[in-house]
Amino acid sequence: MSKHKPELNLPSDCHLAYIVWQEAWYSQASASLNEHPHLMVSASARGSGGGVAWEFQIDGYELGGSPVTRVKMFEDSYAALTDIPEFFAALAEERPVTLDQVRAILDSLGAVDETERVSPYPEHQRETPATLTLAEIRSGTGWPQDARFILAPAAED
């Protein structure tokens, strides 16, 4: 990533943040709607009343046997293109192919990881978190309703 100071132009009372969806305690509730592991990037107002000014998704998956990332954004989040130009410049420069590489860019810009990894509801806790491969997550097999996830590389995917 370029070495100059980031020029973030976030809305008032917001900070750059992200959620690692597959690590969030609630992600299993909508696993069928979120086929690929992804990050949700936002101008977060957590701590300042809540909510987000904008948010968009970055998917990580394989295409033709190679890892790739893809940005998915609705029109109400287009302001992110001018609010965090340094992030998009780093994507263009570094061309990250994994979500970990995207996270490294976000971390270098001072983004806050706001992933809620532990449920505030005791009934959603497990003594031992489930460790699943990406193939198991995609297929929806091998995990109970109240599972928390830690992704592990698959031997074959």
- Residue 33 belongs to some domain of the structure: yes
- Residue 89 belongs to some domain of the structure: yes
- Residue 44 belongs to some domain of the structure: yes
Helices (H), the chain: 80-83, 85-94, 99-108, 134-139
- Residue 5 belongs to some domain of the structure: no
Q: Which residues contact 76 (CB under 8 A, 6 or more apart)?
A: 54
- Residue 30 belongs to some domain of the structure: yes
Q: Which residue type occupies 129?
A: P
- Residue 148 belongs to some domain of the structure: no
- Residue 7 belongs to some domain of the structure: no
- Residue 111 belongs to some domain of the structure: yes
Q: Which residues contact 125 (CB under 8 A, 6 or more apart)?
A: 118, 119, 146, 148
Name the residue range of residue 20's domain: 15-127
Domain count, the chain: 1
| pLDDT digits (tens), the chain, 157 positions | 445 456 689 998 999 999 999 998 888 766 556 678 999 999 999 877 689 999 999 999 999 999 999 999 999 999 999 999 999 999 999 999 999 999 999 999 999 999 998 888 876 555 444 555 566 666 655 555 545 545 545 555 4
